[in-house]
Amino acid sequence: MDLLFSLVINGLMLGSLYAMVSVGLTLIFGITKVINFAHGEFMMIGMMLTYIITTYLGIHPYLTLVFVVPLLFLLGIVVQKYLIEPLKDSDEHIQIFATVGLSIAMINLVLMLAGSNNFNTPSSGLRETLGLGAATVLTGQVVIMLCSIFMVGGLHLFLTKTQMGRAIRATAQNRNAAQLMGINVSRINMVTFGIGIACVGIAAVLLSPLYPVNAQTGQSFVLIAFVIVVMGGLGSIAGAFYAALIIGLVDAFAGFYLGSSLKDVAVFGIFLLVLIFRPSGLFGNARKLAHVS
């Protein structure tokens, strides 16, 4: 019973971490209809920035949010404006290559600059363990869990209660009609991409004290993020959150019972089953692919 409890807790912790990484990805797809293959690399860049700023300024890693999030927001806007937007009328495969190319370029740029070394952001006490009944968790994990809930809730409020949020949803549901309302659709796409990348920036800062970062870090997270985003129903933020928790649990249980090396087979196996049998995700239906929040 204790084992089960501790696996569940660990699964949920892992799941909320995955949720943070995936939320931006699903938001970007929901609005711009672009699958951002470079999403993980934005996170890797965010973690690198966190490491650099923390070590050079000697501040608490969480304080780097002030720098990292706006920087990534701007980076997202630049990418949308100069890479994605010019390709909006191109074939799907061209759009895929654009972000795939971006991903390769970013990974290898970091490899050239920093080599394949691991960088450890100072943990600043966030790797202290907390007892939670039979389970032990890290302080940083609890922070991530709380933040992921705030993030999903905050995005939901933003999308439903603000003028900008409504404009974003309107654009996702009917781009043509949105233009006819006077919405500047390319600006909305830029802001959305920026927000999506800023979200992964928040995830990067919170992850940094717990995980070392290297040029390949993004890759290992982004595949899981794709799994989650498809399972949750592309574009659905709430769906991604639940899917992330499920995948977190699968990860924890498969890791324990199958061993850490085989757990990926379980995760990707589930992914392929979902993709083939329920391409619209576990919670949505096909018609609502544009569904956001």
Least distance from other proteins to the Cβ atom of residue 276, Å: 5
Residue 26 engages other proteins in binding (rule: CB under 8 A): no
CA distances from 233 to 26, 151, 182, 223, 275 (A): 9, 18, 29, 16, 10
Least distance from other proteins to the Cβ atom of residue 67, Å: 25
Residue 282 engages other proteins in binding (rule: CB under 8 A): no
Tokens of 246: 């499920």
Least distance from other proteins to the Cβ atom of residue 47, Å: 17
Binds other proteins (CB under 8 A): choice among 178, 191, 231, 238: 178
Count the helix, strand and coil residues of the chain and give each as a percent rounded to the nearest 5: 75, 5, 25
Distance separating alpha carbons of residues 2 and 131, to the nearest angstrom: 13
Distance separating alpha carbons of residues 10 and 97, to the nearest angstrom: 36
Site string for other proteins, 239-268 (x = CB under 8 A): ----------------------xx-xx--x
Find the part of the chain contacting other proteins (CB under 8 A) among 123-131, 143-151, 170-178, 237-245.
Answer: 170-178
Tokens of 139: 């302080």
Residue 170 engages other proteins in binding (rule: CB under 8 A): yes
Q: Of 65 and 223, which has the nearer Cβ to other proteins?
A: 223
Q: Of 105 and 157, which has the nearer Cβ to other proteins?
A: 105
Comparing C-alpha atoms, which of 192, 265, 217, 188 is closest to residue 103? 217
Least distance from other proteins to the Cβ atom of residue 213, Å: 15
171-200 burial: b if 16+ Cβ within 10 Å, else e: bbeebeebeeeebebeebbbbbbbbbbbbb
Q: Of 124 and 216, which has the nearer Cβ to other proteins?
A: 216
Distance of CA 176 to the CA centre of its chain: 28
Comparing C-alpha atoms, which of 196, 201, 204 is closest to residue 155? 196
Chain residues in the site for other proteins (CB under 8 A): 35, 83, 86-87, 90-98, 100-112, 115-116, 163, 166-167, 169-170, 173-174, 176-185, 215, 219, 223, 226-227, 230, 261-262, 264-265, 268-269, 271-272, 275-276, 279, 288, 290-291
